[in-house]
Structures are given as structure tokens and as C-alpha cells.
Structure 1
Amino acid sequence: MSVNSFILLILLVVAGLQSAWAEVMVIHYPRASAKADSHVDYMHELLHEALVFFPNRYRLMPSQAQMQQGRAVHEMKNGTGEVDLLWTMSTDEREKNLIAIKIPLDKGLLCWRIPLVTTGNKHLFKSVKALHDMEHISAGQEQDWPDVKILESNGLPVATANSYEALFGMLEGGRFDYFPRSILEIWKEYDVHANRDLFINEEIALHYPTAYYFFVTPSKRQFAEDLNNGLEMLIQNGQFEKIFLKYHQASITKARLKHRTVLELQNPYLNPANMPLHRAELWLKP
């Protein structure tokens, strides 16, 4: 164990002892609106293991109402108490208004996107070799996702919906041509919507730099510090990697990214200088 790891462990032990006499703080996260959130089990296990170092200090609970990203960010920014914790893609604006725990929960893989299409469009991208070949092919996204602006800023047309679940029906109904989904999400989503006429495209992948973090409302700074320290301990003892691969190794293998045409997009809404790119252990290139 390195000196820094040992010091962090001592601090966590002291914090854990203090928490035994502290009042339990309830931390609310958004109640999912999706039929099956492909991230929720992974996030809950990470949170549980990270907060083991602070026994009886925190209790996690979903918000009373279902909540989309845009509203959750608004509630956290304004300190309403409705939501304290959110896991989502980062933007410079979100980092300005909320506390970003700068440990990429996706190890950088959320930015690798595969098109979900209808079976009639399974070869829609067969002749696509460059980004300009996509100018007349429309993507679908939820209206408050950062991906909307990213895609549009790269010249790609986007149709939006006011809810995540509506996108699958819109895709099947031909309202747009493809639904770009992360390699960590698409397989479970395909299974959950097996009753629909959908197909996972095998020809291309979109890639743009981003990071997927835990965000904490500014009024819960001690929780943010404890969560950060707990995650750092999981990284140090190897648990973070073990949990990550438990949930995502199969999806990474299925994606077969080396056999796809990869189209690189720019992300003008997140400054790479603010990302922990110097920490190679936090990232994975499939």
C-alpha cells in the first residue's frame, strides 16, 4: 500500500468512527423514469461499497416522483432538497453549478455509441465511411440530454422526445432513423424492448469525449467529500475495477468496436482540461 493510500485509509477509519455517533443523513437520488435503468444496479453497488467506510452516516433514497435529468439538475442547483445525488454525463455548465466527483464511473465508455435501428434499417450505415455521410440520417434523443447539443454541433440532425421510453416507440414508428446508445446500455435496452421491431447495428460506432460522474448538490459538501474518498479507496483496493467488469465486461466484448467504422465527434460542452485524463487507471479504451 502506498503512503497516500495509507493516509487515506486512516482518514476513512477516523471518519467511520465519527459517523457512528453522527445523525444519519438522507441522500435523495432521482427516481428513474425508464422501465429498466441499465446503470442503476451498478451505481447502487458502487455507492454501497464506497459508503461502507462511513457506516450509519448516510441513507440513500429515491425521490418521491420520477425525474428526468434536466429537472434533477435544476433541483440540485437550486438546493430544493428534492434531489442530492445524480449520476450523469458531465458538461462544463454542470460542473460549474454542482459538485462533480471526478471519477469516471463508465471509465470513458459511455461516449462509445452504437446505433439502435429497426430491422428494416439494419444496413442503414453500410456505406457510411465519414461523418458527412450521416448528414441526412436523423438520431433520436431525450430533449434534456447533453448528447443533443453534441450531435447537433457536429452537423448531425436530431429529433427529441420529452421522455426516454417514448424514444423506442418513435424509432419503431420511423420518427427518426437511429437511437445512438452507449455500449454499456444498448444490450439491456434491447432485451427490455424485445417486443419491438429493433436491431443493434453492427457497422459503425460514434465516439466523442465525455465523462460520466456522480454529481452532488452544493449543500451536501461533506457527503461529496466522503463519497469521493470512498470511491478512491475502492480504486486503491481493486474493488472499483472488479465491480465495473462484473457489470460491463460482457457488453464491451459484444460491441466488437475494432470491427466497426468509428466516427469521431467533437464535444464542445466539456473542456478536456477539466477531465482527469492524467490518471490512466480511471479510463479504459476498448
Structure 2
Amino acid sequence: MKQACLFLASRISRSVLLILTLLLATPFASAADAVQKTATIRYPLVSPNADPHVDYVLEILRHAVKASGQPYQLQASEVAMQQARAIYELTSPNGIVDILWTMSTDEREAQLIPIRIPIDKGLLGWRLALLRSADAEMFREVRTLKDLSAFSAGQEMDWPDVAILRNNGLPVKTSASYDPLFTMLKAGRFDYFPRAVFEIQNELDLRPSLDLVIDKHIVLYYPSALYFFVSPREPKMAQDIQRGLEELIKNGTFEKIFQRANQDAIKNANLKSRTIITLRNPFLSPEKMPLHRTGLWFRP
């Protein structure tokens, strides 16, 4: 009898010890799970000199991540990369970036996961011309696309704009990278450098020694959208960021950030006083764009 009681007591002690062990382990297991659930969103490293709207885009992305309710953290890649390299990294099974912001094309939307909210409200398609100061009045008499075709534009070779301009009959000279385009313009390698409304003043201010000016007479327009693109490796990440962006639109944060970053540039561009040269964009299907959501698009 005594042995039976001792055996039972021993069993009870082991059971109590096991229960206590499980209870004590539970908080630590939950903490470990939370750490595991935190994911990193890796984006291409760019500088404001190479991408004048990088600060604005990253502000939108940070707010969207926070609004998504998911424990993501943002991390820039260790090396800077151009668009073609970043797209390669997004499509590669072991790529080193997860997200990119760039002008949308049908090809890019087929390769990657597009988040179809134009984070620039379509401003990327409104282009002013950067000129040499000696040519400040070069476009005074330009009224049509045919008039403009007498002049050559400069662009980076992996930008979608190259194909858009050429498809509309406009001559284009290209550079393998962004920075040399300004000195190429200064040297007369091409006649004008089309830049987005929200880019051009900052780019001009950063290069006072080149003696360049912003044309006052025309504005190029073609349908476009600056989207976030997510790697096909990360469909849930894309859904989370989409949800965060929708929340920013709903609560007004998106519009506040957009206006703060762009209202001065839009005002200074004085678009209503310019001749609008409209171009086709055959590389982005209109039916894929959320054109029915009129609040997402800029109109002068």
C-alpha cells in the first residue's frame, strides 16, 4: 500500500512539473513565433540624385506597411541598382529585393505582381522639357507631335519612356545610366530631356553649373502609372501592401502626402498655359488601369 501511494505521488509530481513547464514555456514560444512572423521588405537602394522622388515613395511605402497591420520592416539593398537589375532580382528565385516602384507596362505586369494604385497619381506621364539655356525658346512654335519630331530627346536606355517616345515618331538618344544624361544634354548630344513634373525642378537645382533651364511652352502627356511591383515570390506581401495603400486612400493620408510633396511642383509647372502634346502609350493597356477611380488620378 505504501509503495502504491509513493508511486501515485511520484506520478502526480511529474504531471504537475510537466504542466508548469508548458505554462512557463508558452510566453517564450509566443515571442519566438512573433519574431518569426516579422518579415523584411527589401527594396533597391537608390539616392535622391538618381531618383528625385525616392523620399516621397518611401514615405508612402512606410505608411502603407504600417496601415497593413503586418510586422514588416523595410530594408534597402546593399548595392544600388538600375531598373533592369531590380526587375531581374524580383523575378529571380533567390533575388535580393522584394519590391520596386517603376512605370508600369504590360510586360512588367506579366512578370511581377502589380499593385494597381498609381502612387504618383499619373504625374509621371506629364513631362516638361529640360533644355540648354541658349535654347530656352526652342519650343515656342511647337504645336504638334510632328513639330516636336524635329528634335531629339534623351532617356536612360532601360526606361519604358524610350519605347513610348519612339513609337510616337520622336527621335531618342539613350544613356546606359541616369546621371550622364544631364552632361549629354549640355554637350548637345540631344536637344531636350523630358522629365516628370515632380522631378524636374529638383534635378535642375542639383546641377547649377550645367546652365540648363525648364522649357515654358509645352508639356508632353501620355497615360502612365507609377506602381509598386512585388516579386512573384511574395504574393501575401503584395496583398498586405495593397491593403495598406487602400487604407491610406480611405483615411486621407495618401492625398495629404501627395499634396505636400507635389503641390508646389504642379503649381510652378503652370500646365494650363502650355501646349499639350499627347502621345500614345501602346505598352500599357488602359483596361488594366483603375481609371474608373477618378480620385486616384491627377488632372490639371
The structure 1 residue matched to 2:151, chosen from 137, 142, 146, is: 137
Aligned to 1:238: 252
Deviation at 1:281, TM superposition (A): 1.3
- The alignment partner of 1:199 has SS state of strand
Residue 49 (structure 1) aligned with residue 63 (structure 2): yes
Shift in alpha-carbon separation, 1:78–1:244, aligned structure 2, 3 A: same
CA distance in 2, matches of 1:88, 1:242: 21
Aligned to 1:7: none
CA distance in 1, matches of 2:48, 2:193: 15
**2:68–2:243 CA contact under 8 A, matched in 1:** no
**2:64–2:241 CA contact under 8 A, matched in 1:** yes
CA distance in 2, matches of 1:61, 1:271: 32
CA distance in 2, matches of 1:231, 1:55: 11
Aligned to 1:165: 179
Shift in alpha-carbon separation, 1:247–1:159, aligned structure 2, 3 A: same
Structure with a larger share of its residues in helix: 2
Which segments of structure 1 move beyond 6 Å, counting only runs of 4 or more? none
CA distance in 2, matches of 1:72, 1:210: 20
**1:34–1:164 CA contact under 8 A, matched in 2:** no
Aligned to 2:112: 98
Deviation at 1:195, TM superposition (A): 2.1
Instruction: Compute the RMSD of aligned alpha carbons.
Output: 1.5
CA distance in 1, matches of 2:167, 2:257: 34
- The alignment partner of 1:163 has SS state of coil
Unmatched 5+ stretches in structure 2: 1-32
**CA deviations over 1:72-107 (Å, ceiling 9, x no partner):** 112212233211111110000000010000000111
CA distance in 2, matches of 1:34, 1:237: 28
**How many residues align structurally?**
268
* Structure with greater Cα Rg: 2
Aligned to 1:218: 232
Residue 108 (structure 1) aligned with residue 122 (structure 2): yes
**2:67–2:245 CA contact under 8 A, matched in 1:** no
**2:50–2:179 CA contact under 8 A, matched in 1:** no
**2:70–2:240 CA contact under 8 A, matched in 1:** no
The structure 1 residue matched to 2:43, chosen from 2, 6, 29, is: 29
CA distance in 1, matches of 2:82, 2:47: 7
CA distance in 1, matches of 2:225, 2:296: 11
Shift in alpha-carbon separation, 1:134–1:87, aligned structure 2, 3 A: same
Unmatched 5+ stretches in structure 1: 1-18
Q: Which amino acid aligns with 1:179?
A: F
Percent identical across equivalent pairs? 51
CA distance in 2, matches of 1:84, 1:190: 31
CA distance in 1, matches of 2:121, 2:83: 21
CA distance in 2, matches of 1:166, 1:61: 28
**TM-score, length of structure 1 as denominator length:** 0.90
